[in-house]
């Protein structure tokens, strides 16, 4: 039976400022969903909320996997239940080697009941698997010895996110602008990488401004977010249309949300311009 990630009427605030205002979404394993929308519409907020960022406070609504609520679980517990976020801005962890980090992560995800200090997966198996995965993504295996994201280029960081996705094989993967800030070669590598990984065992939510990622990973559903709500849902052609014509027509069709968006930009322009 395929798993279901169900988001129901989700309201989320950051520093007591409401950002998400009633988001509902259902993603099944094996489905690909695209989430689009202008800057500041709440896409990244949804992504961070799903993985349990402590700054993002759920004021009402629920997140469930197969009926089990996630609202009160910490990021570690959610990850062990099969949620994964490919971060838009992966952080640097100085002094921690990629291989050591991944061996801990893989052990915890595959053995969700593991307690601290219990054994890690055997080194030999892990190394073999890591090498295969890295080669599959066209990554130099030397990366395994480097410190996590330290001195990585933008493209290398994003590829590292995809490598983690490959190793952890989550039930639900959220990709937050994994294709942003990359040159076209890097976008292709990431897109092909995801294409190889996504399958019947993975539900994917792709947050993107670009079309390339969606060319390789054609969504069954495209959602458009405006002012903290999903205002439209369509198929792949909606993504195509938005890419070609922007959000003007969406705003026309949803004047209330468009007005809210304008209001918000007036009060907090900085929050939408940068991260």
Partner 1 sequence: MTMDVPVLEDDIGVGDYQYGFHDPTDKYVFQSRRGLDRQIVEQISEMKNEPAWMRKFRLDALDTFFQKPMPTWGGDMRDLDFQNMFYYVKASQGQEKSWDDVPDDIRKTYDRLGIPEAEKKYLAGVKAQYESEVVYGSLQEDLAKQGVIFTDTDSALKDYPDLVREYFGTVIPSADNKFAALNSAVWSGGSFIYVPKGVKIEFPLQAYFRINTQNMGQFERTLIIVDEGASVHYVEGCTAPTYSSDSLHSAVVEILVKRGGRCRYTTIQNWSNNVYNLVTKRAKAYGDSLMEWVDGNLGSKLTMKYPAIYLMEPGARGETLSIAFAGKGQHQDAGAKMVHCAPHTSSRVISKSISKDGGRASYRGLVKATHEAHHCKSNVVCDALILDSHSRSDTYPYIEVNQDNLTIEHEASVSKIAEEQLLYLMSRGMSETEASAMIVTGFIEPLVKELPMEYAVEMNRLIELQMEGSVG
* 58 lines the binding site for partner 1 (CB under 8 A): no
SS3 string, the chain, reads: CCCEEEEEEEEEEECCEEEEEEEEEEEECCCEEEEECCCCCCHHHHHHHHHCCCCEEEEEEEEEECCEECCCCCHHHHHHCCEEEECCCCCCCCCCEHHHHHHHHHHHHHCCCCCCCCCCCCHHHHHHHHHHHHHHCCCCHHHHHCECCCCCCHHHHHHHHHHHHHHHCCCEEEEECCCCCCCHHHHHHHHHHHHHHCCCCCEEEEECCCCHHHHHCCCCEEEEEECCEEEEEECHHHHHHHHHHCCHHHHHHCHHHHHHHHHHHHHCHHHHHCC
* 151 counts as binding partner 1 under rule CB under 8 A: no
- What is the total count of residues that contact partner 1 (CB under 8 A)? 34
Query: What's the min distance (Å) between Cβ of 234 and partner 1?
Result: 30
Site for partner 1 in 185-224 (CB under 8 A): none
Q: For partner 1, give the closer residue by CB, 21 or 78.
A: 78
202/224 with CB nearer partner 1: 202
Give dist(CA 64, CA 8) in Å, integer: 8
94 binds partner 1 (CB under 8 A): yes
User: Cβ–Cβ contacts within 10 Å for residue 62, how many?
Assistant: 14
| CB closer to partner 1, 17 vs 55 | 55
Q: How far is the CB of 103 from partner 1 (least distance, A)?
A: 11
With CB under 8 A as the contact rule, the residue among 14, 121, 141, 168 that binds partner 1 is 168
Which is closer to partner 1, CB of 96 or CB of 141?
A: 96
> Which one, 107 or 201, has the nearer CB to partner 1?
107
Q: Does 126 bind partner 1 (CB under 8 A)?
A: no
Please identify, among the stretches 13-21, 73-81, 219-227, 233-241, the one whose residues bind partner 1 according to the rule CB under 8 A.
73-81
What minimum distance in Å lies between the beta carbon of 168 and partner 1?
A: 7
> What are the distances in angstroms from CA 221 to CA 45, 75, 103, 129, 233?
20, 26, 34, 33, 7
Nearest distance, CB of residue 119 and partner 1, angstroms = 14
If the CB atoms of residues 51 and 139 are measured against partner 1, the closer one turns out to be 51
171 binds partner 1 (CB under 8 A): no
Task: Select from 74, 135, 140, 183 the one that contacts partner 1 (CB under 8 A).
Answer: 74
Residue 75 as a binder of partner 1 (CB under 8 A): the answer is yes
Q: How many CA atoms lie within 13 A of 138 on its CB side?
A: 14
Q: What is the residue whose two structure tokens read 């395994």?
A: 144
What part of residues 96-115 is at the interface with partner 1 (CB under 8 A)? 96, 100-101, 104-105, 108-109, 112
Where does this chain bind partner 1 (CB under 8 A)? 51-55, 74-76, 78-80, 83-85, 87, 90-91, 93-96, 100-101, 104-105, 108-109, 112, 116-117, 147-148, 164, 168
């Amino acid at each position: 039976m395929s798993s279901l990630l169900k988001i129901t009427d989700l309201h989320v605030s950051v520093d007591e400022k409401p950002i998400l205002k009633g988001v509902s979404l259902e993603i099944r394993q094996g489905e690909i969903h695209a989430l689009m929308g202008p800057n500041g519409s709440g896409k990244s907020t949804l992504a961070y909320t799903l993985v349990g960022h402590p700054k993002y406070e759920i004021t009402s609504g629920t997140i469930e996997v197969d009926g089990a609520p996630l609202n009160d679980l910490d990021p570690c517990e959610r990850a062990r239940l099969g949620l994964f976020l490919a971060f838009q801005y992966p952080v640097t962890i100085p002094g921690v080697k990629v291989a050591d980090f991944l061996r801990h992560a893989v052990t915890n995800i595959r053995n969700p009941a593991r307690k601290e200090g219990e054994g890690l997966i055997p080194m030999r198996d892990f190394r073999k698997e890591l090498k295969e995965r890295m080669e599959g993504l066209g990554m130099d295996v030397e990366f395994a010895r480097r410190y996590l994201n330290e001195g990585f280029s933008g493209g290398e960081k994003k590829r590292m996110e995809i490598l983690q996705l490959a190793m952890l094989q989550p039930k639900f993967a959220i990709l937050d602008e994994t294709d942003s800030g990359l040159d076209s070669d890097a976008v292709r590598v990431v897109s092909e990488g995801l294409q190889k990984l996504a399958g019947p065992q993975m539900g994917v939510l792709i947050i993107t401004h670009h079309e390339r990622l969606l060319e390789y990973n054609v969504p069954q559903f495209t959602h458009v977010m405006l002012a903290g709500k999903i205002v439209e849902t369509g198929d792949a052609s909606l993504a195509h249309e938005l890419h070609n014509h922007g959000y003007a027509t969406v705003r026309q069709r949803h004047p209330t949300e468009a007005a809210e968006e304008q209001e918000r930009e007036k009060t907090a322009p900085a929050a939408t311009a940068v991260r």
